[in-house]
Structure 1
Amino acid sequence: MTNNFFYKVFISLILMVFNFQLSMATNDGFKLITYTTEDGVIIEASFFEAEKDLVVIFAHGAIFNKDSWYFLAERLQKEGVSSLSLDFRGYGNSKKGSTNKKSFDILGAIDYLKEKGFKKIAIVGGSMGGAAVLNALDIKTDSVIEKVVLLAPAGGKGIVSKSIKKLIIVSKNEGLFSRVNSIYKESSQPKELKIYPGSFHAQHMFKAEYSNELINLVIGFLKE
């Protein structure tokens, strides 16, 4: 066999891998995007595009990544709601940066979506992601933020903005219950606290027996 034959085989394999990667990034209903935060960190996120009315930002917990929100993002997309699920700095293909500035990852996502033309933004955050959301809103409350869903945020201050509708969710017997309850009390109206039985923490609550109820609660709140 000639060198030309092996060269053609090699090129064909490269094209097959490229096309497979491309299909993984575009044919599953989302596309991979990047944006740069205020402190210069490049963040990768999956953008599920639907309508240009409402868009939801998903912020994952410490042992999760952006993929962990896909089941909600896909359902929202089918119902006409766009979403962006980000990998925090140091996760996935997002670049590393100061771990104390994850709030910048949230603020960068908000700016990216505003540049895309979205006028209404909701944010869903679990545990570490919930804390990053609270810290971001403490730095800057943007008028486009309409709703926030927090699943057992791992820290942060309550949301004082009265223009943001708030849904805080926690398990009754989990370790952060007291802190989450304090965040709820610190937050201004309109607000709602949903307490589930057991001790599942944040995104782990989607594994509980009440998972379908929880999913419907979150989606219903985001779409109301």
Structure 2
Amino acid sequence: MKKNYKVLSVFIFLASFSTVTHATENVLITSDNFALKTDYFKPNIASDRAVLMLHQCNYNRSMYTKIGEQLAQLGIHALSLDFRGFGESVNHQYDIEKVRSQPDDTRRSAWLTLSQNWPDDVALAYNYLKNKIGNHGRIAIIGASCGGTQAVNLAQSTPMSAIVFFSSAQNETNIARYKTDLANVPTLIIAAEQDGRTYSSAKTLFDSAMHINSKLISYKGSEHGYPLLTKDPNLAQLMVSWLNQQL
């Protein structure tokens, strides 16, 4: 079986970047007239490759600044967005701080009201990138923590060339969806060993992955998502290198 050829590995990517490609701030308007703030990293060459970057739910789109810059320098379009209710994608109706301040008996329903819009919002961001690279282009997606569920949602409904699960715990339903529909997509899985459910589901996803280029990068400790980028200064380049190879 293909999975017998999978390799658990941490690889080194050494590259020098002569120029820095800074983000352009964009606003995407949804069908219900909500303003989604995004950062778009445009390569300096014509390109049919792109990466959509979804943040974790205790950060915002700025967690991908370095990764977006490095992708663009390699000729890859990159887009990060603030989920509805996070970062600069907030209004009087959608604001994660208001959700978090609610009592326990109403917080869950408020969270569902907020997050139920995310699949459509993410699809809008995907289509923005698709318009940049054309119908025959290749798109990958990074989902950090809660962003991993949105990555699964999108990858099930649209062609995806690669997936990165970054400290993203997946429930049994999502793992089953991955096994059924996405196991043959190159998948990079990143997790810290003491990060509870995140690490156990990472191992399950990796065991389910069928593509020869699927990899698991594990760390000692309990850092979750963005702090791993600080802990390991090479991690951003590792992610960029792997994505560049798949695209």
TM normalised by structure 2 equals 0.69
- Runs of 4+ aligned residues of structure 1 deviating over 6 Å after TM superposition are none
The equivalent of 1:154 in structure 2 is 169
- Distance change in 2, residues 1:28/1:167 (3 Å): closer
Q: Distance in 2 between matches of 1:40 and 1:154?
A: 31
Matched, 1:204 2:227: yes
Q: Distance in 2 between matches of 1:28 and 1:151?
A: 23
The equivalent of 1:137 in structure 2 is 155
Higher relative contact order (CA 8 A, sep 6+): 2
The 8 Å contact of residues 21 and 41 in structure 2, kept in 1 or not, is answered as no
Structure 2 unaligned spans of 5+: 1-19, 95-112
Partner SS for 2:37: strand
- Percent of matched pairs sharing the same residue: 25
1:34 counterpart letter in structure 2? V
Matched, 1:86 2:81: yes
The 8 Å contact of residues 161 and 185 in structure 2, kept in 1 or not, is answered as yes
- Larger Rg, first or second structure (1 or 2): 1
1:170 counterpart letter in structure 2? A
Q: Distance in 1 between matches of 2:183 and 2:200?
A: 23
Among 25, 28, 40, which residue is 1:35 paired with? 28
1:132 counterpart letter in structure 2? Q
Among 210, 214, 237, which residue is 1:216 paired with? 237
The equivalent of 1:72 in structure 2 is 67
- Distance change in 2, residues 1:217/1:177 (3 Å): same
The equivalent of 1:195 in structure 2 is 218
1:179 counterpart letter in structure 2? S
Q: Distance in 1 between matches of 2:138 and 2:63?
A: 23
Give the stretch that moved more between structures: 110-119 or 41-50.
110-119
The equivalent of 2:7 in structure 1 is none
Q: Distance in 2 between matches of 1:186 and 1:36?
A: 37
How far off is 1:37 after superposition? 4.2
Matched, 1:171 2:192: yes
Q: Distance in 2 between matches of 1:206 and 1:104?
A: 28
1:105 counterpart letter in structure 2? D
After superposition, residues 92-107 of structure 1 pair within 5 angstroms as: 92-95=87-90, 96=94, 98-107=114-123
The 8 Å contact of residues 58 and 85 in structure 1, kept in 2 or not, is answered as yes
The 8 Å contact of residues 37 and 107 in structure 1, kept in 2 or not, is answered as no
Among 37, 40, 54, which residue is 1:59 paired with? 54
How far off is 1:77 after superposition? 1.8
The 8 Å contact of residues 39 and 104 in structure 1, kept in 2 or not, is answered as no
